[in-house]
Structure 1
Amino acid sequence: MNIWEMLAVFAAGISAGTINTIVGSGTLITFPVLLATGLPPVTATVSNGLGLIPGSVSGAIGYRKELEGQGRRVLKLSVGALIGGLTGATLLLALPSTAFETIVPVLVALALVLVILQPRISKAVQRRREHSGTPTRSDGGPLLFVGLMLASVYGGYFTAAQGIIYLSLMGMLLDDTMQRLNAVKNVLAAVVNSIAALFFLFVADFDWTAVVLIAVGSALGGQIGARIGRRLSPVVLRVLIVAVGTVAIVQLVLR
């Protein structure tokens, strides 16, 4: 990797860390850059996953105020994320690289529809609960746990647009603000990236130069993203999620 390629990977890491903290889909920036440096797809995926861990942790720290009072919720959902992330990492090495290419754009598109409809869906769910007398569960219940675990399987496999899927599921099943849900999303992403990375350290090839460059860049980007993201209104945040998700779908289809 020459100096210009190293600078490109570092810049991609900053961009990915920023966009991951605000919305998600930062992998769609770093992954093509790593491929352009000559890394094989699986090595690029593994190196990217390892490098983005500091960015996920940095973003979660940046949202620490919004995480207050969510300890139990985060702990429970993190268990599902951990199981799913480890499963996805295993599938990355067991399945062909094209295994998820068909289904991923469909998943992201569905997630975007849920993000757009989330205010109406949440109100409808709340009215139904009030009518039936069913109390609102602060952790989203079994449906959210299973949904996030399945999303984490994909996250451990590739991670692109993983955060958008998380936000759509939590927005539909939890009665909370988008900013607080975004804070939880950052923790879950950190859990998935970390467990997948620990797995990869022992069984897969990766490029240390790429890992370090993305790690430093994404850590910086995580702080930048937290500063920007926490100031966005729910409407602006939702519009940004849809915009980034649409770009993600186009890139995934054209790959």
Structure 2
Amino acid sequence: MSALDLAIAAGVALVAGVINSIAGGGSLILFPTLVALGLGTVAANVTNSIAQWPGYLGGVLGFRSEYAGQRGRLLRFGLVALVGGTAGSVLLLTTPSEAFDLVVPVLVALASLLLAVQPLLTRRIGQHEDGGGRRDPRWLYLTLLLATAYGGYFGGALGVILVGVLGVGLHRLKLANALKSALSAVTATVTLVVFGIWGPVDWLVVVVAAPASLLGGFLGARVARRIPATPLRLFIVGFGLLVSAYLFTRV
């Protein structure tokens, strides 16, 4: 890649880190950018996953006050995310790249549509929000396993999926948003190890994009309650659907 291409990747990674902390869906911007810069779809996916890993850590730091008293839950959910993320990332590397090329346009479209309906789900969760003290439902663990497996395989809009699942299961939206960052970080850490050893990673892109993602994730978490998410969400949804349509033409 040229110096200009690397600068573009770093700038988009910064924006993606902010988006992941505020609304989720940052991969829907960084992944197609890397494809447009010349990476293959699988290489763009694994590079995107590793480059955004520091951004999830930044989000965790930004939400650290929300984790008070949640050590047991973080350990249980984190173990589930570890297993799910491993399964998804191994599946990506052990299936033909042609299969990923076929499924990724569908995943991008579904992730974009899920992001579009997130406000409806959020309002529904908020109407039933309680103060805690409930035991985590058993179905939540299986759903988190499937969600983090998806995150290991592709990961676009994983934060949106996690917020929806955790919000429904815990009935505490603020906590769900904070736990989303922690579980995304666990899943991203798994992909960092698996893809870093066996995946076709463009490490030059990672070197410039990862620090930008870290800064973006931290800033996004700090200002998540101040920036209106609706215009950002509409942009990501529209962009994601355009990307999906473009990827369908490449199949």
Q: TM-score, normalised by structure 1?
A: 0.84
The change in CA–CA distance for 1:73 and 1:184 in structure 2 (over 3 A counts) is same
1:194 aligns with 2:189: yes
How far is the alpha carbon of 1:29 from its aligned partner?
1.4
Tell me which residue corresponds to 1:132. none
Residue 137 of structure 1 corresponds to which residue in structure 2?
134
User: Counterpart of 2:109 in structure 1: which amino acid?
Assistant: P
1:253 aligned partner: 244
Q: Which moved more, 1:85-94 or 1:105-114?
A: 105-114
Shift in CA distance, 229/197, structure 1 to aligned 2, threshold 3 Å:
same
AA aligned opposite 1:226: A
SS at match of 2:67: coil
State the distance in 2 between where 1:241 and 1:138 align: 34
Q: Which residue of 1 aligns with 2:209?
A: 214
Residue 159 (structure 1) aligns with: 155
**1:138 CA drift (Å):** 4.5
Q: 1:34-73 residue pairs with structure 2 within 5 A?
A: 34-73=34-73
Deviation at 1:100?
4.8
Equivalent residue of 1:229, what SS? coil
Is contact 1:91-1:157 (8 Å) kept?
yes
- Whole-Å Cα distance in 1 between the matches of residues 57 and 204 of structure 2? 20
**Residues 1:68 and 1:245: Cα distance change in structure 2 (over 3 Å):** farther
Change (3 A) 1:24 1:244: farther
The superposition leaves residues 151-185 of structure 1 with CA deviations (integer Å, 9 ceiling, x where unpaired) of 1111111111111011111111212133x221110
8 A contact 2:28–2:240 mirrored in 1: no
> Structure 1 residues 14 and 124 mapped into 2: Cα distance closer, same or farther (>3 Å)?
closer
Query: Following superposition, which runs of at least 4 residues in structure 1 exceed 6 angstroms of deviation?
Result: none
Tell me the equivalent position of 1:227. 222
Matching residue's letter, 2:238: V
* Contact 1:86/1:153 (8 A) holds in 2: yes
Aligned-residue Cα RMSD (Å) equals: 2.5
Cα 1:122–1:23, aligned 2, differ >3 Å: closer, same or farther?
Answer: closer
Match of residue 83 from structure 1: 83
CA distance in 1 between counterparts of 2:4 and 2:104 reads 32
CA contact (8 A) 1:73 1:138 kept: no
**Percent same amino acid among aligned pairs?**
34
Q: Number of aligned residue pairs: give it.
A: 241
Aligned equivalents of 1:86, 1:19: Cα separation in 2: 24
On the 8 A contact 1:164/1:241 being kept in 2, the answer is no
The answer for the alignment partner of 2:109 in structure 1 is: 105
Shift of 1:75: 1.5
- Do the aligned partners of 1:115 and 1:171 also contact (CA within 8 Å) in 2? no
Cα 1:186/1:107, change in 2 over 3 Å: same
What code does the residue aligned with 1:218 have? Answer: S
Partner of 2:26: 26
CA apart distance, 1:118: 4.3
TM-score normalized with structure 2 length = 0.85
Pair 1:194–1:4, CA change in 2 (3 A): same
Query: Aligned in 2, Cα 1:149/1:31: closer, same or farther, shift over 3 Å?
Result: same
State the one-letter code of the partner of 2:208.
Answer: L
Q: Are residues 242 and 116 of structure 1, via their aligned partners in 2, closer, same or farther at CA, if it must alter by over 3 Å?
A: farther
Closer/same/farther in 2, CA of residues 32 and 124 from structure 1, 3 Å limit = closer
Relative distance call for 1:250 and 1:50 in structure 2 (3 A) is: same
Q: Which residue of 2 aligns with 1:150?
A: 146
Segments of 5+ residues of structure 1 without an aligned counterpart are 127-134
1:203-248 residue CA offsets vs partner (Å, 9 max, x unmatched): 122111111111011011012101211446xxx55x4686366336
Between the aligned partners of 1:202 and 1:20, the Cα distance in structure 2 is 25
